[in-house]
Amino acid sequence: RHVPYGIKEKNLVKRYIDDAADFIIEQGVDALVIACNTATSIAIQDLRKTYDIPIIGMEPAVKPAVEICGDKRVIVLATPLTLNEDKFEDLVSKVDSDHIVDSLPLPELVNYAERFQFDDKEITKYLKKNLSKYDLDQYGTIVLGCTHFVYYKKIFRNILPGHIDIIDGNLGTIRHLKNVLKLNNIPNKQYSKEEIKDKNISFYLSGKKKDNNIIYKYLSILN
């Protein structure tokens, strides 16, 4: 109900994040994943000071992008708020010694995802318009720096030159979570997408409990 975060005023978004974290932790969770680059950049430090459970954040996969791009450039796609935060600038400054990283805000792509709009023609038009300012032959890697953007990975692949790698921070976050759970002796229960429909797992969307089939619908789009 409060999305998209990436175009709102920082203090307002921080309040939304704090409220959401309070609610989730009240459910008795053993660990919390801030599965949003914008939320991580704004709130992760304060959340870790407030709660005594492991809290894992996300950040755009700039480091691996720089490592694999060869002699070409990198574009980080994210929300305006993520790209304007000091956390992002600090991340880039640590790994981008050759100044090859560019950034492009795509706020409307979040709105498309939240509205369940996945029409190839409309999304393709939006992405082509925003990417047209770049000579894509000069780029080797594009970073999907917002968790919403992964829903459009296939469309990105269709419109980008074949030599460009498309990466995101999801896998790295999952690996980090598994390591943190192991270090803290927290049971690690893993379910396949198909099992989610039948398991007694609670899902909340914008503060309201949702049927597992709704979440399954989201996951099916990622196939």
Instruction: Enumerate the active-site residues.
Output: 36, 146
* 54 close to 184: Cβ distance less than 8 angstroms: yes
Q: Where are the beta strands (DSSP E) in the chain?
A: 32-33, 55-56, 73-78, 101-105, 139-144, 165-168, 203-205, 208-210
46 vs 113: CA distance, rounded Å: 28
201 vs 127: CA distance, rounded Å: 35
Q: Which amino acid is located at 22 in the chain?
A: D
Rounded-to-5 percentages of helix, strand, coil across the chain: 55, 15, 30
DSSP state of 199: S
161 vs 167: CA distance, rounded Å: 14
Residues 6+ apart with CB under 8 A from 108: 126
Classify each residue of 67-88 as buried b or exposed e, where b means 16 or more C-beta atoms within 10 Å of its C-beta: eebeebbbbbbbbbbbbbbebb
